[in-house]
Copies of this chain bind each other. A is one copy, B any other.
């Protein structure tokens, strides 16, 4: 553990690779431990998303019970409503939402370009219209950092310009170069002493752009490296190739690697195998609210009438509040009656399933049996990638 390549000491964050990838190259997966101001995050790890300072349908005790140790909140949403300055006046995001464990805020870059109605990107920043009321706003790297400092999460993220993976090469190249300049400005603007700052690698699906972006971002003094611009319209093979390029460029870098936006267990497993440490996604919660419950090997659609008479729990042995106390029949009834309790119970389950899956991955890594356990873990994750899971439950 004293090897410089398996340990990082930042101003605020510490990261230790407890079990590095084996020398035989059978996997790049690694077990790690990220120390942040509000607690420890064991990696590989998944972060539930609390867009509006609430993981939809759950309270903080529910989130804790899923096994989550860190959550993500969206800077764009909180900036617009209720406002970062208001949250700061109320004591910061942790106190506002009554969650005293680690939080990461994204930069707002993704939402600005994906939700904002107007999107004028110039070299200084992005002008956009609020998706709530059409009002015009402007984010620059400096402003994104100021907003995130006001929110006060454990980890802030540099402002970037993500583009759809399938974008033309010149669009990707332009956005990647701008992301690099904004990374430097984000770093220069950041001053909060109790908050880590992660940089974002872009580069789309082009190996050269992706590799040079990873090298550029790794050359700056961030506390962690985000891999952005994926989990979009790429195929799993394209995504895995892009991860391989980025992780290769970061192979000797001890800082945590965070692939933004990926959420199906099958996708998480492949990304872990390629060396990714951190993830976030709305997927487990979103499909849960649509009635899709994840179980070992697949999923159940609780809107299907065959569950109305099924006295079994959604998943035998699952410790979540749904499976320990209610039947599939009851949950199917709640969904049909559009009762609010359905959304909470289903979300508790899918997040518990996802976080338990990450725990299984970490156990295999700790035991040194991850490569051998891959077939079993793949069976447990089920066949669906995130895009399929989202489309089939929509």
Contact = CB atoms under 8 A, between A and B. Distances in A.
Interface of A: 52-54, 56-60, 81-82, 86, 89-91, 96-98, 308-309, 311, 321, 325-327, 329-330, 332-334, 336-337, 339-341, 343-345
Contacts of A329: 82, 86, 90, 96
Q: How many chain copies?
A: 2
A3 to B, nearest CB: 43
Residue of A82, A308, A327 with most partner-chain B CB within 10 A: A82
A332 B52 CA distance: 12
A321 B344 CA distance: 16
Given A52-B337, A56-B340, A337-B52, A325 B82 contact: no
Nearest to A77: B337
A102 B58 CA distance: 27
Nearest to A339: B54
Given A325-B98, A327-B90, A57 B340 contact: yes
A89 B52 CA distance: 41
A44 B345 CA distance: 33
Given A340-B57, A340-B343, A333 B89 contact: no
A87 to B, nearest CB: 9
B345 A86 contact: no
Given A52-B334, A59-B321, 7 more contacts: A53-B330, A54-B334, A54-B337, A56-B340, A82-B329, A90-B309, A98-B325
